[in-house]
Amino acid sequence: MPASAGIGLRAPHVSRILREHPRVPWFEMHSENLFATGGSLHDAMVRIRADYPLSLHGVGLSLGSVDALDTAHLWRLAALVARYQPGLVSEHLCWGAVGGRHSNDLLPLPFTEEAVSLLVSRIGQVQDALRRELLVENISTYLRFQEGDYTEWDFVAEVVRRSGCGLLCDVNNIYVNSVNHDFDPSMYLRALPREAVREIHLAGYTRKEGLPVPLLIDTHSRPVDEAVWALYGAAVARFGPVPTLIEWDQDIPELEVLLAEAARAQEVLDARRACAA
Amino acid sequence: MHVVPALLELQSRFLDALYDDAEAGPTEALVGAGLDPAARLRIYRHAAAQIHADALRATYPALLALVGEAFFEQVGVHYRRAHPSRSGNLQAFGAHFADFLESLQATGTLPYLGDVARLEWQRQQAALAGTAEALSAGVVGEAFAGVDGAVRIALHPSVRRFASPHPVLSIWQYAMQPSPGRLTLPEHGDRLLLWRSEAEVAMAPIDAASFACIGALLCGVTLDAAHAAARAKDSAFDLPACITSLVAQELVVAITPVHRKEHPACA
């Protein structure tokens, strides 16, 4: 996977990408959107994959659930990985289902030893099934549980260290959580294991109005905020130039808007490379 | 200070609260930090409900147009409680929506709604079905010429049949592209063939004998058996015309000779 700035591949842009072959270093696709055996999206993906590197990003495996891993879900992912040979495969450090019921959302875990052990075991199962490294992503949260065994950043670092997986560092999520839970985001970056970071995500958030405290929602519906760009600069300074993705999932704009955001991220990556040279 | 409950209890109570407004969730284990913990939990409750409502909207656009936003949303709320999502893949959510609609007293005066929903579910299945290369007319001709005996015809994986006592095709078309004036519905029901054509799902009415023939082919019986099933509906059934039409729609993907005497029975 090139250490460049790619964009999330979303349905409204597919036909234009097939027609115009824009200069994009790589695309990321939500794994579950390709879980059907066929359809026009697969037809398009075969052609896009022939021309671009690809990353698969899962949202439904529910790594942190006390339910056993859904093996049907896991094997569908394995089949997708075999079919498209993505450069990176990632999931979220969260849970989403219990007792067979799914929220289909990314729900927060308590930062406890019990949760770390569970995640380490589940990540091991996934890596064994896929026979490759899984990246795990830190999520945005709007609540946190009473004091656990770890801070959030130590929790993430411990899971990565003990499972041997890679880390997808979502810089926007770190910023959103730093506002929602009142901490210094640079401290979070410093705690993450630099050698495990394989990818960075950037996205836009919205501010929930009318509340007595500031609360940011990770909506992926807006341009990357200036404060997040600043934190991204710090992340690239610490982790080096790693593949960076612009995510945009709601109110999806024209492709040019995503390309412009990716170009700005590319400038940061290029500057870091020039600095290291 | 409250202690965070073990994961099983925490997750069970959390998910209960996402599915049921009456469930408070594990609020005693949450940090408020200037905001009512219940308000923080409500953000997740609202998001999960929205995710499921959006999934239903994407699968059932005609139904949404027919019943309107407010009613659709209300039914969606009750549906997700009765049939919680059972997969991390949202494409599976909504499978029971037609039966659920028909179980509601409020839809009793609109008896076609359930079948419109079933039609839309079949459209989604056709859109997501596997892919196979269609045989050209020339290849089909050669295949028949080279076979002496029974054959099976395999159809494209996206092919579906749908029958309803209601004129669901007209209703679906009206819902998706309303025309000015009052809609005059046919008095008969529909037998439809559905298939994926490029990025779209195509639908076409077919007669009872063709419906039976294609149904038998989809079950994997021999062409002779499919022909017999069609002739039971219409003794004048034109098999070559039916197969030619399927080939023209690029829906025939394999013709294979049958060597064994045993043929699968169609349920």
Query: Which residues of chain B are within 8 Å of residue A66 when distances are taken between CB atoms?
Result: 7-8, 11
Residue A157 pLDDT level (bands cut at 50, 70, 90): very high
This complex has an ipTM of 0.95
Judge whether residue B138 has pLDDT over 60: yes
Query: C-alpha distances in angstroms, A76 versus A91, A118, B55, B190, B195?
Result: 14, 22, 20, 36, 24
What is the distance in angstroms between the Cα of A62 and the nearest Cα belonging to chain B?
8
Query: C-alpha distances in angstroms, A59 versus A215, A224, B76, B89?
Result: 23, 21, 22, 9
Q: Answer whether B8 sits within 8 Å of A182, measured CB to CB.
A: no
Give me the DSSP letters along A128-176: HHHTSPPEEEPPP-S--BS--SS-HHHHHHHHHHHHT-EEEEEHHHHHH
Return the DSSP state at B107: G
A·B CB contacts under 8 A? 147
Residue B262 pLDDT level (bands cut at 50, 70, 90): low
Give mean pLDDT, residues A198-210.
97
Q: Which residue, A248, A41, A33, is CA-closest to B90?
A: A33
Quote the CA–CA distance of A39 and B201 in Å, as a whole number.
10
Quote the CA–CA distance of A93 and A196 in Å, as a whole number.
15
User: Which residue segment(s) compose the domain that A260 sits in?
Assistant: 5-276
Which residues have C-beta within 8 Å of that of residue B62, sequence separation ≥ 6? B116, B119, B120, B171, B172, B175, B176
Dihedral sign (CA B239, B242, B245, B247): negative
Residue A150 pLDDT level (bands cut at 50, 70, 90): very high
Q: Enter the tokens of residue A269.
A: 């990556």
Q: Which residue, A22, A28, A21, is CA-closest to A2?
A: A28
The region of weakest confidence among A204-213, B77-86, B173-182 is: B173-182
From chain B residues 202-261, the ones with a CB under 8 A of any chain A CB are: none
Q: Enter the tokens of residue A85.
A: 């040979």
Quote the CA–CA distance of A162 and A127 in Å, as a whole number.
13
> Measured between CB atoms, does B87 come within 8 Å of chain A?
yes
Per-chain mean pLDDT for chain A: 97
3-state secondary structure of A201: strand
Q: Are strands A5-8 and A135-137 parallel, antiparallel or unpaired?
A: unpaired
- Residues B56, B82 contacting (CB under 8 angstroms): no
Return the DSSP state at B158: T
Residue B3 pLDDT level (bands cut at 50, 70, 90): low
Q: In the prediction, which pLDDT does A238 show?
A: 97
Dihedral sign (CA A44, A46, A50, A52): positive
Query: Which residues of chain A are within 8 Å of residue B59 when distances are taken between CB atoms?
Result: none
Return the DSSP state at A33: G
Which residues have C-beta within 8 Å of that of residue A98, sequence separation ≥ 6? A65, A66, A67, B8, B11, B12, B14, B15
Judge whether residue B263 has pLDDT over 60: no
Judge whether residue A246 has pLDDT over 90: yes
Q: In the prediction, which pLDDT does B261 show?
A: 59
Q: Which residue has the higher pLDDT, B110 or A101?
A: A101
Give mean pLDDT, residues B92-111.
90
Q: In the prediction, which pLDDT does B179 show?
A: 80
Judge whether residue A21 has pLDDT over 90: yes
The residue of chain B with its CA nearest to that of A145 is B30
Which residues have C-beta within 8 Å of that of residue B110, sequence separation ≥ 6? B66, B67
Give me the DSSP letters along B230-260: HHHH-TT--HHHHHHHHHHTT-EEEEEE--S
The alpha-helical segments, DSSP class H, found in A218-254 are 226-239
For residue B89, count CB atoms less than 10 angstroms from its CB and return exposed for 0-12, middle for 13-18, buried for 19 or more.
buried
Q: Enter the tokens of residue A240.
A: 């080096």
Q: Answer whether A32 sits within 8 Å of B91, measured CB to CB.
A: yes
What is the distance in angstroms between the Cα of B79 and the nearest Cα belonging to chain A?
14
The residue of chain B with its CA nearest to that of A96 is B88
Quote the CA–CA distance of A23 and A31 in Å, as a whole number.
23
Q: In the prediction, which pLDDT does B187 show?
A: 85
Q: Which of A96, A118, A146 sits opposite B4 (nearest CB)?
A: A146
Residue B2 pLDDT level (bands cut at 50, 70, 90): low
E strands present in B143-226: 151-155, 160-164, 190-197, 200-205
* Residue B178 backbone phi and psi in degrees, to 5: -60, 135
Q: Enter the tokens of residue B180.
A: 């000015």
Query: Which residues of chain A are within 8 Å of residue B156 when distances are taken between CB atoms?
Result: none
Q: Which residues of A197-225 are buried (b: 16+ CB within 10 A; e: fewer)?
A: bbbbbbbbbbebeeeeeebbbbbbbebbb
Q: Enter the tokens of residue B89.
A: 């893949």
Q: Answer whether A97 sits within 8 Å of B41, measured CB to CB.
A: no
Q: Answer whether B33 sits within 8 Å of A181, measured CB to CB.
A: yes
What is the distance in angstroms between the Cα of A242 and the nearest Cα belonging to chain B?
29
The enclosing domain of A172 has a CATH number of 3.20.20.150
- Residues A78, A130 contacting (CB under 8 angstroms): yes
Q: In the prediction, which pLDDT does A110 show?
A: 97
Element (H, E) at A107: strand A101-107
Judge whether residue B80 has pLDDT over 80: yes
Element (H, E) at A244: strand A244-246
How many CA atoms lie within 13 Å of A255's alpha carbon, on the beta-carbon side? Answer: 18
Judge whether residue B178 has pLDDT over 90: no
Q: Which of A42, A104, A181 sits opposite B88 (nearest CB)?
A: A104
Query: C-alpha distances in angstroms, A31 versus A60, A78, A192, A246, B44?
Result: 9, 10, 26, 17, 23
**Among A103, A121, A139, which would you mutate to test the B interface (most chain B Cβ atoms within 10 Å of its Cβ)?**
A103
Q: Which of A37, A76, A142 sits opposite B43 (nearest CB)?
A: A142
CA B263 to chain CA mean position, Å: 29
Length of chain B: 267
Query: Which residues of chain B are within 8 Å of residue A147 when distances are taken between CB atoms?
Result: 1, 4
Q: Enter the tokens of residue A5.
A: 């700035």
**Among A67, A104, A216, which would you mutate to test the B interface (most chain B Cβ atoms within 10 Å of its Cβ)?**
A104
- What is the C-alpha radius of gyration for chain A, rounded to an integer number of angstroms? 18
The residue of chain B with its CA nearest to that of A148 is B4
The region of weakest confidence among A119-128, A168-177, B3-12, B180-189 is: B180-189
Residue type, A83: R
Q: Enter the tokens of residue A96.
A: 């989403």
The alpha-helical segments, DSSP class H, found in chain A are 11-20, 40-51, 71-84, 113-130, 152-163, 171-180, 185-191, 226-239, 255-276
Residue A211 pLDDT level (bands cut at 50, 70, 90): very high
Q: In the prediction, which pLDDT does B56 show?
A: 98
Number of domains in chain A: 1
